[in-house]
Structure 1
Amino acid sequence: MSYDLSVYAVTPLGFDELLALVRSTAGLDVDGEPSSDADSLMVMRGARRAYCFTIDGPFEVELEDVPEEVTASVIGAKAVYQVLVEGSEETSIPHAVKFARKLAKSAAGAMLDEQSGEVWPKAKGSRVTRPREASRATELVTVNFYTETGKMPEDLPGSYIAAARKYLPEALPRRFGSYEPLQGKLERDGDQAFTDMWRSDPTHSLYLDCQYPVGFGVLSGSKENRPIGRTSLRFDGAVLSNPGWLEALRRFFVAFALESKSFFASVEVLRNYEWGTRSYKWSPGQEKETWPIDGGEWIGLVPYPQSWTWFGPDQISIVSPHLTGHREMHGDRLFHVLAEQPVDRD
């Protein structure tokens, strides 16, 4: 029998820091004098120095391997520790849990109880602190995915929810609907209701009210009378300075471009916007976005550079000779990066 706790760390501790953290906890110490290259520590408790728990790690972890429950609480986990109570020492479990929480706090991360599935600290909506100003100047970032209506997945909303929950929970819709006031609530109604509403009104788009820094989203209807459908997000450009959130956006962008069967997708930065208490606001002098579609018809690539673009197989041979910057192939589709952190068109 063992009791397993996983601590996902954004800033993993060095060996000396971890050792000091154990010894600063009342009643705990490590067994012997471990070497600095050890990847496991045995922790003892009390004057009798009885075995309490074992700490393994830190081990590198990919964003794809971070559980959704943890992603909802923390941005940019880079490593994981295992805190294990081995054997039948049930009296050691509270001590292990208390230390695992202390480790999570020190590593700017989160603890997952592998038995109950509970995460500490619990998710509180957006992982990004909302600025307090009632209105402030900012840049607006737009994310757009374009899919041929006839090739659109049967459950596009389900694919969207899955990608957002795994990588970018701020893009999950708090509320959704085809008209104002938005009728659906994801927390109350569940994922299937999101898909059902999209299917029940196939000629109209589904609008999303999301968590900061995402202000607004839209999914084209499943059978709109137009050849090309669009999925879009708008968010506050101030968050791009957060490297963990930026990497999460990148993973979401690639994942949903694949799942939505997008033949083109883009991320670009628009200048001279204002952000209010809940979302962005229109303002004088704001930069306009050029659309590659008109009335659902494809009219061609925009006449200025976009920071991130995604090309389907029919376009790659046409655009490839003209591209500079970083390229990533994902199957038969190309992710093109002009700027690692999206910037304006100039």
Structure 2
Amino acid sequence: MSYDLSVYAAGPLSFDDLVRLVRGTIGLDVDGSPSSDAQSLMVVRGARRAYCFTIDGPFGVEAEDVPEDVTASVIGAKAVYQVLVEGSEEASIPHAVKFARKLAKATGGALLDEQTDEVWPRAKGSRVARPREAARPTELVTVNFYTLMSELPEDLPGNYIALARKYLPEALPTRFGTYEPHQGKLDRDGDQAFTDMWSENPRSRLFFKCDYPIAWGAIPGPEYPSSVWHASLYLDGAALADPGWLDGLRRFFVAFALESNSFFASVEVLRNYEWVSRSYERLPGAEEEIWPIHVGEWKGFVPYPQSWTWFGPEQAGIVSPYLTGRREQHGEYLFHVLAEKPVDRDQLTALLPDPTRPWIPKELATPCTR
């Protein structure tokens, strides 16, 4: 019998730093003289140097394998340590828990008690610190998904919540409704209420507020009067400076584009905005999106390049000859990355082979201005 603790780390320690962390804890020491390539450390306690617990790892971990409750507390967990009290050493359990918390703090991570499923530290809203300034100039990042209404999955709101919990907890709809003030509250009403409100208002848009750095989002109902379903998120560009959060956004973008059967999706950076309190406002000269749909109909791609784009099988075949940058194939779908960290349209244009020419032929671009 053993007592198992898992520490998910955003920044794993070097072997020497791990040893120092153990020896810097009152009453604990490492048994013997382990080599730097050891994957396991035995920790002893007290003057008698009695066995206390074992540390295994760090072992690499994929975002898909990180428990949701851990993702809610940690941005970009890259590795996991196992802290194990082996045998019947119950007196050692408090020492193991105390050290595991210390290890979690040192690695910017979180501790999962495998016996109780409790996570430390517990999630408290956004994992991203809110800006202290009352108002701050920023770039606005827009995330858009486009799906044919005839191909819309049945439980899209439920899928959205599941993917947000897995990859990007800040995208969860904390408050939601079809008008202000929003009627629904996720932590009070539960996940099903979000789906129910969507299905009970089939011809309306369901708006929702999120935790910082995401201001708000919107998804149309399943019978919205349009041939193209269009979901959106709006977020503070300052969050993109965190590599772990950026990776979570990328994973969520790809996963939801697949789950929603999106034939097109995009991430775009707009300049000249101001972050105020829980949302954003336009400054003079603020850039606006050019949407590829007008009055519910697809009109063509935007006339300038976007940082991340997603193409269904038909669209990929049309634009593929003109794409530069990195490509990821997901079955028949194509995820195209022109800039790993989303940047504004002028910086993207400079990345094209010939910045004086449009990224796609003009006949493939939308004539709409909004």
Within-5 A mapping of 1:124-163: 124-163=124-163
CA distance in 2: counterparts of 1:290 and 1:115, whole angstroms: 52
Partner of 1:35, secondary structure, is coil
Give the equivalent residue in structure 1 for 2:28. 28
Give the equivalent residue in structure 2 for 1:240. 240
Q: What amino acid is the match of 1:110?
A: A
CA distance in 1: counterparts of 2:159 and 2:296, whole angstroms: 22
CA-CA distance at 1:317 after TM superposition: 1.2
CA distance in 1: counterparts of 2:219 and 2:108, whole angstroms: 34
CA distance in 2: counterparts of 1:209 and 1:53, whole angstroms: 44
Partner of 1:154, secondary structure, is coil
Give the equivalent residue in structure 1 for 2:351. none
Give the equivalent residue in structure 2 for 1:338. 338
Give the equivalent residue in structure 1 for 2:48. 48
Give the equivalent residue in structure 2 for 1:272. 272
**1:249 aligned to 2:235?**
no
Partner of 1:173, secondary structure, is coil
CA-CA distance at 1:198 after TM superposition: 0.3
CA distance in 2: counterparts of 1:297 and 1:119, whole angstroms: 46
CA-CA distance at 1:64 after TM superposition: 1.2
Partner of 2:174, secondary structure, is strand
Give the equivalent residue in structure 1 for 2:108. 108
Give the equivalent residue in structure 2 for 1:297. 297
CA-CA distance at 1:16 after TM superposition: 0.9
Q: What amino acid is the match of 2:192?
A: Q
Partner of 2:93, secondary structure, is helix
CA distance in 2: counterparts of 1:325 and 1:108, whole angstroms: 32
What residue ranges of structure 2 are gaps of 5+ in the alignment? 347-370
CA-CA distance at 1:282 after TM superposition: 2.6
Partner of 2:319, secondary structure, is helix
Task: Output one character per residue of 1:89-120: Cα deviation in whole Å (capped at 9) or x when no partner.
Answer: 11111110000000011111111111111111
CA-CA distance at 1:133 after TM superposition: 1.0
CA distance in 2: counterparts of 1:31 and 1:58, whole angstroms: 18
Give the equivalent residue in structure 1 for 2:354. none
Give the equivalent residue in structure 1 for 2:356. none
CA-CA distance at 1:10 after TM superposition: 1.1
CA-CA distance at 1:134 after TM superposition: 1.1
CA-CA distance at 1:284 after TM superposition: 2.3
Maintained 8 Å contact 1:272/1:286:
yes
CA distance in 2: counterparts of 1:288 and 1:101, whole angstroms: 46
Within-5 A mapping of 1:1-346: 1-346=1-346
TM-score (norm 2): 0.93
Maintained 8 Å contact 1:174/1:211:
yes
Q: What amino acid is the match of 2:201?
A: D
Give the equivalent residue in structure 1 for 2:359. none
Q: What amino acid is the match of 2:246?
A: L
CA distance in 1: counterparts of 2:299 and 2:285, whole angstroms: 26
Q: What amino acid is the match of 2:66?
A: V
Task: Output one character per residue of 1:276-307: Cα deviation in whole Å (capped at 9) or x when no partner.
Answer: 01111133211011000112111110000000
CA distance in 1: counterparts of 2:169 and 2:324, whole angstroms: 31
CA-CA distance at 1:334 after TM superposition: 0.1
Maintained 8 Å contact 2:272/2:282:
no
Aligned length: 346
Partner of 2:84, secondary structure, is strand
Partner of 2:345, secondary structure, is coil
Maintained 8 Å contact 2:56/2:83:
yes
Task: Output one character per residue of 1:296-329: Cα deviation in whole Å (capped at 9) or x when no partner.
Answer: 1111100000000000011111110110000000
Q: What amino acid is the match of 2:311?
A: F
TM-score (norm 1): 0.99
CA distance in 2: counterparts of 1:51 and 1:230, whole angstroms: 59
CA distance in 1: counterparts of 2:289 and 2:210, whole angstroms: 21
CA distance in 1: counterparts of 2:39 and 2:78, whole angstroms: 16
CA distance in 2: counterparts of 1:312 and 1:284, whole angstroms: 36
Maintained 8 Å contact 2:215/2:235:
yes
Maintained 8 Å contact 2:55/2:81:
yes
Partner of 1:180, secondary structure, is coil
CA-CA distance at 1:62 after TM superposition: 1.1
Maintained 8 Å contact 1:5/1:112:
yes
Maintained 8 Å contact 1:140/1:236:
yes
CA-CA distance at 1:176 after TM superposition: 0.4
State the identity %: 74
Q: What amino acid is the match of 1:243?
A: P
Q: What amino acid is the match of 2:135?
A: S
Moved over 2 A (4+): none
